[in-house]
């Protein structure tokens, strides 16, 4: 008898329930992701509904309001902002064994060094308190925790949290690899940048930031130094 998608999900739920390395939120998120895949939902894209945004939707950059004259208004806005860098990737393709953000890019400075300098300059200029939030993965967490200690005396708050840790699936039976004894790092994977929103919530960081009056999050890859805070867009 052929195994149905319902059978696969039922067996997967039982196997995932026994994985004590991850939280209930991670288990539920993983089951939901696989369920969407098996249902075919992820494959049903109505391309006829995907169109180029119209001029009424796209706001030309040149039409944005100019910066206010007083720096106090800019400071008040910046104090509601958080810069979040996606720091879960390893630098293996660039010849690095650790987090991609610690690769040296210029004059002995790493991606992370330059990110810190960028935000420090912003805070110094306007007297604001824009913190840096790093979303790590289980691959980069330990190394990043050690690296951020060098910025202890900087004019910048740095916070970290981890994205989800999901088990790899065995194609033949749709069961998680860790349930078959592969419990080391090779049995798991970080589910990608789209996981930033549930992970921000599940980690408790979202509530902590809201309690401090933060309202806006600027999100970018840790190796994208061109992605900096644009005050015109923020205002």
| Tens place of pLDDT per residue across the chain (235 aa) | 556 778 888 999 999 999 999 999 999 999 999 988 887 766 677 888 888 988 888 988 998 888 776 778 899 999 999 999 999 887 666 666 678 888 888 899 999 999 999 999 999 999 999 999 999 999 888 889 988 999 988 889 999 999 999 999 998 888 999 998 888 888 999 998 889 999 999 999 999 999 999 999 999 999 899 999 999 998 8
Residue 50 lies inside a defined structural domain of this protein: no
Residue 49 lies inside a defined structural domain of this protein: no
Residue 81 lies inside a defined structural domain of this protein: yes
Residue 190 lies inside a defined structural domain of this protein: yes
Burial zone of 13 (CB within 10 Å; 0-12 exposed, 13-18 middle, 19+ buried): middle
Residue 57 lies inside a defined structural domain of this protein: no
Which range of residues forms the domain containing residue 210? Answer: 5-41+69-234
- Spatial distance between the Cα atoms of 178 and 215, rounded to a whole number of angstroms: 39
Instruction: Locate all alpha helices (DSSP H) within the chain, ordered by sequence.
Output: 5-17, 24-39, 71-78, 111-126, 141-147, 196-202, 205-211, 231-234
Residue 186 lies inside a defined structural domain of this protein: yes
Residue 129 lies inside a defined structural domain of this protein: yes
pTM: 0.86
The number of distinct structural domains making up the chain is 1
CATH label of the domain that carries residue 34: 3.90.550.10
Residue 61 lies inside a defined structural domain of this protein: no
- Spatial distance between the Cα atoms of 121 and 75, rounded to a whole number of angstroms: 13
């Amino acid at each position: 008898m052929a195994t149905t998608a319902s059978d696969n999900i039922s067996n997967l739920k039982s196997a995932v329930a026994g994985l004590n390395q991850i939280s209930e939120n991670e288990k539920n998120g993983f089951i939901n992701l696989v369920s969407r895949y098996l249902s075919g939902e992820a494959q049903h894209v109505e391309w006829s509904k995907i169109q180029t945004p119209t001029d009424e939707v796209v706001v030309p950059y040149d039409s944005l309001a100019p910066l206010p004259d007083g720096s106090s208004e800019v400071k008040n806005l910046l104090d509601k902002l958080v810069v979040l860098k996606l720091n879960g990737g390893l630098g293996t393709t660039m010849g690095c064994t650790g987090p991609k953000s610690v690769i040296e890019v210029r004059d002995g400075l790493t991606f992370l060094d330059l990110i810190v300098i960028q935000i420090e300059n912003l805070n110094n200029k306007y007297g604001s308190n824009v913190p840096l939030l790093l979303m790590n993965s289980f691959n980069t967490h330990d190394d990043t925790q050690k690296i951020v200690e060098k910025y202890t005396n900087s004019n910048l708050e740095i916070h970290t949290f981890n994205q989800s840790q999901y088990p790899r699936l065995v194609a033949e039976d749709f069961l998680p690899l860790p349930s078959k004894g592969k419990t080391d790092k090779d049995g798991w994977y970080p589910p990608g940048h789209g996981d930033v929103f549930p992970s921000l919530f599940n980690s408790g960081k979202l509530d902590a930031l809201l309690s401090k009056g933060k309202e806006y999050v600027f999100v970018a890859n840790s190796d994208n130094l061109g992605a900096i805070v644009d005050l015109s867009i923020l205002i």
